[in-house]
Amino acid sequence: MRVRLGAALAASLSPLLFAAAVSAQPMAPAPALQGVVASFIGDQLTVRDAHGVRTTVTAPSDARFLRLRPIDPSAIRPGSFVATANVSQPDGSGRSTEFRVFAPALRGLGEGHGPMAGEAAGTMMTNGTVSAEVVSTPRGRELDISYGGQGGGVRHVVIPPNVTIREMSVADRADAKAGVPVEIRAGQAAGGRLVARAILIGETSRPAAR
């Protein structure tokens, strides 16, 4: 479920967050939208991007609001439910390019392991439970992630020192206030109307124009 958090975030948002899509209405996918909230009136959410361009999306009652915040790597413990975009290595492990620790309310979201659509060959998304202690090595932090579902298994993942660890938790619609940075994944309904599936609060790749 790639979310990324720049161009990398946008690619990873879909597998990171939206494997369990909240909207039942069939819609064509739309590019990720990043910026700051310009206004949120009723179900109409207007976002201003880094170039000052404003885009309005409909945020229905079933849209998912989520929050990201950096946390200390010590928060990754056995039993933590996590999600990571990772690149397959020759030894069969995955090198993490982004890493999320899910709050308890999101446990199980998108559980599984598989290729990330639209990414380079060997780029995978792994959502599952940390099954052993995290070990520090010269390569970074190393851990095993167990995942269930069809084809369940274990993925050994290395988190390089330059990868920021973030917690993902449930947010409220009221948290999407003017000036707040957001990342929106939306679908395009009939007539071109954009309908938000999920709104990620607290992260955007570039500052918005004033």
pLDDT tens, 144-181? 999 997 679 999 999 999 999 999 999 999 999 999 99
Give the pLDDT confidence of 109-142 residue by residue, as tens digits: 889 999 987 788 999 999 999 999 999 999 999 9
pLDDT given at position 28: 77
CA distances from 52 to 35, 38, 143, 175, 210 (A): 9, 10, 42, 22, 7
Please give the helix or strand (H or E) that residue 17 lies within, else none. helix 13-17
Give 202's contacts (C-beta < 8 A, 6+ positions apart).
67, 68, 69, 180, 181
Give the span between the Cα atoms of 11 and 14, in whole angstroms.
Answer: 7
> From the CB of residue 194, how many other CB atoms can be counted at a distance below 10 Å?
19
pLDDT given at position 59: 96
pTM of the model: 0.76
